[in-house]
Amino acid sequence: MSRTTWRARRADLIWRDWDEDLQIVYDVASGDTHALDRFSGDVVKHLQDDGLTAVQLASRLAGESNRPRMDLERQIADLLPRLDRLGLIDPIS
Amino acid sequence: MKFGDVKFGELPSAELIRLFRGGIAWRTGPYVVHVRSPVRFVARHLAWLYRDFGVLDYEEIPDAEISVRASGMGWRRVSIFSDGAVRYRRVARSQAVPLLEWTLNLSVFHRPTQNLLIHAAVVEREGCSLILPGEAGSGKSTLCAGLIHHGWRLLSDEVAVIRPSDGCLLPVPRPVSLKGGGIEALRRMAPEACLGPVWPRTPKGRVAHLLPPTTSVQRMDDPARPAWIVFPQFQPGAGCRIQPLGKADTLLHCAGNAFNYSILGRQGFEVLAGVIDDCQGYEMLFDDLWAAVDTLGGLRHPCMADLAVSGGACS
């Protein structure tokens, strides 16, 4: 599992959550509007607060779901590069 | 004569021709347009289409200046200019009126503004407005025309103008541009509808303009609160089906149909998200105008009850 630490690229994200399967996030700096599934949205929100590795993220999110920790780590590891390509997060170390 | 109080329809034909030759201005909602047309054929049709609108004083600063000039052999062709730049050059006279209406759309309603603009028809009932976003061919204009003959007020056939301060929709009543089979569909539904001539072979096929109802023109300064956003799609054989659309999807679709969402930046997002907060979103397939109008007539929204108590939300 990668030891890369990730952080949200910008603090200035505006969220709109209507308790649906998708959350909307508006990136003020880029002007992009993204629709994220709940899991992806939760990952970005955690990375707005702290720089975290996939393992650390899985640890935090494990408390919010019943899924096995290893599944979460794999899913997060797959997800992080995609969020990076959307311009929402950056590797910081 | 006091300008603004005199309607196009109240002026003698010779006076209208004279005014159009020099340039004539009128207002639709927050926009002022100025049109100069020495071409009598165009002047006569515009005077009919806008017969309920008040003629304005020249001192009003227009949002766009449109001019029509005769050209070609025997003056059988016209060119249309917007703010001095040519929009259509040497087109057949039979296309002049629909092309001038599209020039008005491009020149006035797509210009930079602080209002959020979405490509949509908008109608209102009991203080609650229904936004019908859609591309050309979605059937939104036909639907809009059907609705305004069944108890709904026309706010706009072309663009939803959303005021940032309170998210209310500003009326911009203008002729409804019906195309292709929509013309006959409306004639069947509302034989009393005031439809102008059918203009053949325009870039969008056959086009006919429906006069905006007099009451809609009279109420062009009465905004309405957003209540429903319905994405219509005309589809032969589909019947009439409507289903709720999630708010996130509704926002994304609206942003995709907006003219200036990206330009407004954060304000654009916040205004649109605020509208979505207040609205119920739907997708609708239809192949029959009657059924679609009935279905939309059955929509209910909590704002109807609020307005019954408060007497209105926008001013």
The count of structural domains within chain A is: 1
Asked, for residue A19, whether it belongs to a domain, the answer is yes
β-strands B64-71, B240-245 pairing: unpaired
Query: Which amino acid is located at B206 in the chain?
Result: R
Share of residues in chain A with pLDDT > 90 (%): 78
In this structure, what DSSP letter does residue A11 have? Answer: S
Question: In a structure prediction context, what are the per-residue pLDDT tens digits for chain A, which is 93 residues long?
Answer: 678 999 998 779 999 999 999 999 999 999 999 999 999 999 999 999 999 999 999 999 988 777 888 889 999 999 999 999 999 999 998
Interchain contact A14–B (C-beta under 8 A): yes
B166-183: b (≥16 Cβ within 10 Å) or e: ebbbbbbbbbbbbbeebb
> Three-state SS string across chain B, please?
CCCCCCEHHHCCHHHHHHHHHHCEEEEECCEEEEEECCCHHHHHHHHHHCCCCEEECCCCCCCEEEEEEEECHHHCEEEEEECCEEEEEEEEHHHHHHHHHHHHHHHHHCCCCCCEEEEEEEEEECCEEEEEECCCCCCHHHHHHHHHCCCCEEEECCEEEECCCCCCEECCCCCEEEECHHHHHHHHHCCCCCECCCEEEECCEEEEEECCCHHHHHCCCCCEEEEEEEEEEECCCCCEEEEEECHHHHHHHHHHHECCHHHHCHHHHHHHHHHHHHCEEEEEEECCHHHHHHHHHCCCCHHHHHHHHHCCCCC
Asked if A20 and B270 come within 8 Å (Cβ–Cβ), the reply is no
- Residue A93 inside a domain? The answer is no
CATH of the domain at A74: 1.10.10
- Integer Cα distance of A43 and A81 in angstroms: 12
pLDDT, position A2: 73
Write down the ipTM of this complex. 0.90
**Residue B315's pLDDT is what?**
66
Q: Which of A21, A23, A75 is nearest to A48 (CA)?
A: A23
Its domain, for residue A67, covers 6-87
Q: Specify if A48 maps to a domain.
A: yes
Task: Name the DSSP class of A84.
Answer: H
In Å, how far is A70's CA from the nearest CA of chain B?
A: 30
Do the domain assignments include residue A92? no
Q: What's A63's DSSP letter? A: T
A24 closest CB neighbour out of B248, B265, B266: B248
Check residue A16 and give its pLDDT: 96
Chain B residues inside the 8 Å CB shell of A35: 248-249, 252
Q: Is A1 contained in some domain?
A: no
pLDDT score recorded for residue B135: 87
| Residue A55 domain flag | yes
CA distance B80 to B78: 7
Which regions of chain B are under pLDDT 70? Answer: 1-4, 58-59, 74, 110, 305-315
B266 CB neighbours in chain A (<8 A) are 14, 26, 28
Q: Is B248 close to A35, i.e. CB distance below 8 A?
A: yes
